[in-house]
């Protein structure tokens, strides 16, 4: 009997292969990719600005920019002879939302003495904190209130409340 046929009580496969979480984690499976996406999301566009924001070695940054471009997360902005800079694609902007949720988790559970970056929502001028909510009813995510579509006929959909 295949391991893929064995299901846990929650309905999830015991060894997910090729699922959407596996795809998402593979897209950012190195130390620098999320930092690059964050730098681009906060306005760095030129190679040198991204390098300053991320702090990676030059060769690593160049390789990660290539892999993020190949993955459709980043696009090179054409210049004369070589890219004038880089920008996030819609795929990259969606990934930037995930980074904001990870930041919230890091702020809550990270070392109490580490530096925390306050993000301000430009539209209202207040501090921004990412929160998950159900698209259908608008309620905030509470652990234990989610199930897979196989377990319920009308699953809620999660959105990042940006």
What secondary structure does DSSP assign to 49-96, as a single string?
Answer: HHHHHH---HHHHHHHHHHHHHTTSEEEEP-SSS-SEEEE-HHHHHHH
- Six-digit token pair at 43? 């306005």
Q: Is the sign of the CA dihedral 98, 108, 114, 123 positive or negative?
A: positive
Looking at residue 9, what is its pLDDT?
Answer: 53
Question: In 3-state terms, what secondary structure has residue 47?
Answer: helix
Looking at residue 161, what is its pLDDT?
Answer: 47
Domains (range + CATH), the chain:
8-94 (1.10.10.10)
Closest by CA to 68, choosing from 93, 104, 98, is 93
Looking at residue 162, what is its pLDDT?
Answer: 47
Across the 162 residues of the chain, what is the mean pLDDT of every consecutive 10-residue run? Answer: 47 65 82 94 94 96 94 90 88 92 90 89 90 90 81 50 47
Residue 125 region, left (φ>0) first, then alpha (ψ -120 to 50), else beta?
A: left
DSSP 114: S
Looking at residue 15, what is its pLDDT?
Answer: 56
């Amino acid at each position: 009997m295949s391991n893929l046929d064995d299901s846990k009580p929650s309905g999830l496969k015991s060894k997910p292969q090729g699922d959407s979480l596996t795809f998402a984690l593979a897209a950012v499976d190195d130390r620098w990719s999320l930092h690059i996406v964050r730098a681009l999301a906060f306005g760095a566009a030129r190679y040198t600005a991204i390098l300053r924001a991320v702090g990676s070695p030059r060769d690593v940054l160049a390789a990660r920019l290539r892999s993020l471009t190949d993955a459709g997360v980043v696009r090179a902005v054409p210049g004369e002879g070589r890219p004038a800079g880089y920008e996030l694609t819609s795929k990259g902007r969606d990934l930037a939302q995930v980074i904001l949720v990870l930041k919230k988790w890091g702020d809550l559970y990270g070392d109490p003495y580490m530096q925390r970056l306050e993000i301000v929502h430009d539209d209202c001028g207040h501090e921004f904190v990412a929160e998950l909510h159900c698209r259908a009813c608008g309620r905030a995510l509470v652990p234990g209130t989610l199930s897979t579509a196989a377990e319920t006929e009308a699953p809620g959909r999660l959105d990042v409340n940006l």
